[in-house]
Every structure is written in structure tokens, then in C-alpha cells.
Amino acid sequence: MNILDKIVADKHQEVALRKQLIPVKQLQQSVLFEKETISLSTNLRNSSKAGIIAEHKRRSPSKAVINQNSNVWDVAKGYENAGAAGMSVLTDGKYFGGSLDDLLTARASVNLPLLRKDFIIDSYQLLEAKAYGADVCLLIAACLSRKEIKELSEFAKSLNLEVLLEVHNKQELEKALMPSIDLLGVNNRNLKTFEVSLETSKALSNLIPDDFVKVSESGISSTDAIKELQNYDYKGFLIGENFMKSTDPVQSIQDFMTDL
């Protein structure tokens, strides 16, 4: 059983419990449920700077602790002021140290498009994403069938959430291409070995139709990497660890943007 299988198995249990604690009706009554969505895909297509999607992440299975001391409010504000095109908020607790409250805090502090980054396996999590202020949800092709991708992405669209679909290889990409996807993310990290290579983004770029906004994820730690990937039509760059591993993530993104 690899780490992804383990996370997904735990996620099924977690979601079953959450459903018992907070009924769907309660989520639908959230103040944020009727909020108009801020489009990440539009931001990335029109971004005059590189389309940085800056991430808030406390820890990960591959790196253990990254930054346990950061304040979500301050980090979100700093990302917005530095010119990020969007923000990704990890909401998985067990493996990444995040929570839906982090999403809520980020929503209260900025007007950026917010991505709920989690392992989504149930439509209930999309209702949560909407209720807690997300504009975009992440679907990971590695842990979903084509039928599940279709059902979840279409349900997300019915809630006016944009969908970022993450793939790691050609097989996942081929099963994932459908009209209910807005952004296609190529994760440069092999989820089984945790090795990172930008060659993954380069190799898959010409297989992604222009209808989708292309996003490169993981392992982007220099402005040179971004300039290189822009040649392959990538408009979005999801960067978390590079900013979060510093003692001051806000200063880190400011320096990065200046360099860019």
C-alpha cells in the first residue's frame, strides 16, 4: 500500500465521520455558500506576472514538518500583496496539518481565488469547499476513476466551483480530459517515490489541449524553472514548500516575485 492509497483509505473514514457531524443542509446554509466565485483560470490566463498559485502548507508526508509557526491570515495577506494569482490551502489534517478553518481564515483575509487542496473522494467535500469559501477544488486523477472524475467535476461546476485536475502521467491525463475540467495540473512529484522532475510537465505539455489552463505543480524552486516551463505554455505554477520552508514565507514570495 503506497502513501496515496493510505491517505485515501483514511479519507473515506474521515468523510464518513464528518457527514455524521455536519449535515449537508448546515453546509448549504453557510454565509459563503452563495458567494460569487473568483475565477482562478481567468486570473492565470490574464496574469501579467507569472501565475503563481502560492500554497499554505504546514507539513507533508515527504518532508514531515515544513512550517508549524505560520499564521494563515498573515501568509495569505502577504501572498496577495506580493502579486500571487491565487492561493492553495491544504485542508487535510492528518498528513498535512491543515484544516477547513485555514480555508475560512484565508477567505476572510484576501480576495484571491482560493483552491481547496485535499484528497477529494466524495461530493460532500465539494459542499464543504463551497461552504468554507473555496473558488476552486482539486481532483487527483491518481485516486479517482474516470466516472468519479466526471461525477465530481460536474457536481463542482453545479456549485460554481472551478476544477483543477491533477495528473502525473499520460494514462491519467487521457482518462481525465473532459469539458467539466477548467485547469489541468501536472504534478512533477512521483506520488509513489516522491522524486521530483520538471521533465514530467514538459513531457505532458503537448498532450494537453488549449481549452485547459496548464498548471505545473511541485518542485518549482527557482524563477528559471518558471521561465523554462512558460515555453511549454504553462500559465500557472503551484508553489508551496519553497515559500513555506523559510521562516518568513511572505518575505520569501516577495523576493521570488522581485527576482521574476
Distances (CA, A) of 68 to 10, 78, 114, 247: 22, 17, 21, 10
Please state the pTM of the whole predicted model.
Answer: 0.96
From 117, 130, 214, 235, the catalytic residue: 117
Quote the CA–CA distance of 85 and 76 in Å, as a whole number: 12
The three cell numbers locating residue 116: 481547496
Distance between alpha carbon 96 and the CA centroid of its chain, in Å?
13
Q: Tell me, what amino acid is at 26?
A: Q
Name the grid cell of 44: 492565470
Instruction: Write down the pLDDT at residue 2.
Output: 81
Helix (H), strand (E) at residue 259:
helix 249-259
C-alpha cell belonging to residue 74:
498573515
CATH number at residue 42: 3.20.20.70
Q: Looking at residue 191, what is its pLDDT?
A: 72
The pLDDT of residue 58:
84
Active-site residue 174, yes or no?
Answer: no
Is 117 a known active-site residue?
yes
Catalytic residue chosen out of the listed positions 11, 43, 57, 109: 57
Q: Is 36 a catalytic residue?
A: no
Q: Which residues contact 188 (CB under 8 A, 6 or more apart)?
A: 196, 197, 198, 199, 200, 201, 216, 217, 218, 219, 220
Total domains, the chain: 1
81 is known as an active-site residue: no
pLDDT (tens digit, 0 to 9) for every residue of the chain, 260 residues total?
Answer: 688 899 999 999 999 999 999 999 999 999 999 999 999 999 999 876 789 999 998 888 776 667 677 889 999 999 999 999 999 999 999 999 999 999 999 999 999 999 999 999 999 999 999 999 999 999 999 999 999 999 999 999 999 999 999 999 999 999 999 999 999 999 998 876 778 999 999 999 999 999 999 999 998 999 999 999 999 999 999 998 889 888 888 899 999 999 98
Q: Which residue spans within the chain are E strands per DSSP?
A: 51-56, 59-60, 64-65, 86-90, 114-117, 136-140, 162-167, 183-187, 213-217, 236-239
Query: Is 218 considered catalytic here?
Result: yes
In sequence order, the β-bridge partners of residue 168 are: none
| Residue 246: per-residue pLDDT | 87
State which residues form the domain around 192.
Answer: 3-259
